[in-house]
Amino acid sequence: MSRVTEQYEAFPYPERDPADEATRLITGSPSHPLEIDHFLFGGTRDWSQPFRALVAGGGTGDALIQLAQVLTSAGKPYEITYLDLSTASRRIAEARAAARGLTGITFLTRSLLDAPKLGPFDYIDCCGVLHHLPDPQAGFDALAAALAPEGGMGLMVYAPFGRSGVYPLQEAFGTVLTGTARDRLRRAKAIFERIPEGHPFKRNAQLSDHRASDAGFYDLLLHSQDRPFRIGELLDTLDRAGLVMTGSPQAHLYDPLPILGDKGLLVGMDDRARMDVAEALRGTIRTHVLYAARSAEGRVAQAGPQAVPHLKGVTGPKLAQHAAKHGVIPVSHEGERFEIPVPALAVRALAQVDGRRTLDEIARAARTDWLAFAPIWAGVSKALTGHGILTYSRLLRG
Ligand SMILES: C[S@@+](CC[C@H](N)C(=O)[O-])C[C@H]1O[C@@H](n2cnc3c(N)ncnc32)[C@H](O)[C@@H]1O
């Protein structure tokens, strides 16, 4: 058994209790169907057709449960294949699905490198997995080969700068600690307490997984195979797999202009170089969350890194009016201010905000029309999505 499999057999990730399904649905990014519809299908997917999805390296099931539950609640047909090397993780994911009475899921204990034999899929979720493969490119290639021609994927892979401090500790623990996964965890936790407060890890306020659970501590600090990607490297890796980025819910983070303050400094740079500069200037991106497909053509309402449909504070009629008038929503994120373009169809919906009805009411009333509004909580872009995602998807249109 490889060290990676040994880890996830001992500490299924993330730590989840199937009993919690009775009280909460964990939602996040990527893989909320409304987000998928926006970034991969231009909001035009016909959800009466079965949605064939693969959750590759599904762990304890967050993306799987979100996908299956949202589609079940919306009364839409789907076939989901869950795949993971860890049997302990699979058991938890199965128990969570059973607790919700979700059907239409095939559970497999296999490597995602086998994905091409299982496809084709309309959608592949692969969150927090590809950076743990011995050869990540082989993983990207395998998933690309499992896609239906018009299909696409939602990916999350680690980014280096926002994880500052993680890699020196992984290296030190990996060098000195032996024994079972539990032995290593116990000793690492004791050593961690003696690490000086000035260590970059302890100064990195963005990292909290090690406090959340044993599985989180192990995943962050004791992983034996963990390779972060700069955004440019990730786009190159997608290129080699025959894929292109079709959008990202955190696209605003890849825009260097708010920090540079001078468009002139960007003259002559292509999108990729600009995104690398933005990542370096921000220094806080921990993960890249993006959608990818064979071609970006016809995918999103507005192409490019600024195609972001998420809105913050949309409960306020003033903000909605601002969006309707200017086509952008002003947001602040980690102390920076951004203007986020709103898809044209959403602008038209926002123009209907009258100060008497909440956006939820407008969305409910519009169910037979083109606007759907679904609350989405948590996920890496919570600061932007905390109040919801506004979409023109037909998923909830009945
Ligand atoms: C950090 S967890 C992420 C779990 C889940 N995707 C999530 O985001 O909550 C990584 C998962 O990938 C699985 N994994 C690692 N390599 C794999 C491979 N080659 N094929 C399938 N699963 C793999 C591990 O067993 C583990 O469950």
- Please name the residue whose Cα sits nearest to atom 12 of ligand 1: 57
Asked if residue 150 and residue 52 are part of one domain, the reply reads yes
16-37 tens-digit pLDDT: 999 999 988 887 789 988 778 8
Q: Among 127, 129, 227, 286, say which to mutate for ligand 1: greatest number of ligand atoms within 8 Å of CB.
A: 129
Q: How far is the CA of 117 from the centre of ligand 1 (A)?
A: 19
Evaluate whether residue 115 is within a structural domain. yes
The reply to whether omega before 30 is within 30° of 0 (cis) is yes
Q: For residue 335, what are the domain limits?
A: 317-391
The answer, yes or no, to whether any atom of ligand 1 lies below 6 A from the CB of 62, is yes
The answer, yes or no, to whether any atom of ligand 1 lies below 6 A from the CB of 27, is no
Q: How far is the CA of 84 from the centre of ligand 1 (A)?
A: 6
Instruction: Report how many domains make up the chain.
Output: 2
Asked if residue 235 and residue 362 are part of one domain, the reply reads no
- Please name the residue whose Cα sits nearest to atom 26 of ligand 1: 59
The pLDDT tens digits along the chain (398 residues) read 788 998 999 999 999 999 999 988 887 789 988 778 878 887 678 889 999 999 999 999 999 999 999 899 888 999 999 999 999 999 999 999 999 999 999 999 999 999 999 999 999 999 999 999 999 999 999 999 999 999 999 999 999 999 999 999 999 999 999 999 999 999 999 999 999 999 999 999 989 999 999 999 999 999 999 999 999 999 999 999 999 998 887 777 888 888 898 989 999 999 899 999 999 999 999 999 999 999 877 665 443 333 333 343 344 455 566 666 776 666 555 555 656 555 555 555 566 655 565 555 555 554 423 233 332 222 223 333 333 334 445 555 44
The answer, yes or no, to whether any atom of ligand 1 lies below 6 A from the CB of 129, is yes
Alpha-helical runs (H) found in 42-124: 62-73, 87-100, 115-118
Q: How far is the CA of 112 from the centre of ligand 1 (A)?
A: 9
69-128 tens-digit pLDDT: 989 988 899 999 999 999 999 999 999 999 999 999 999 999 999 999 999 999 999 999
Amino acid at 206: Q
State the CATH number of the domain containing residue 44: 3.40.50.150
The answer, yes or no, to whether any atom of ligand 1 lies below 6 A from the CB of 72, is no
Evaluate whether residue 325 is within a structural domain. yes
CB atoms within 10 A of CB 134: 10
Asked if residue 71 and residue 149 are part of one domain, the reply reads yes
The Cβ-side half-sphere exposure at 362, using a 13 Å CA radius, reads 23
State in Å, rounded, how far the first CA of the chain is from the last one: 47
Phi (first) and psi of residue 244, to 5 degrees: -130, 150
Asked if residue 96 and residue 29 are part of one domain, the reply reads yes
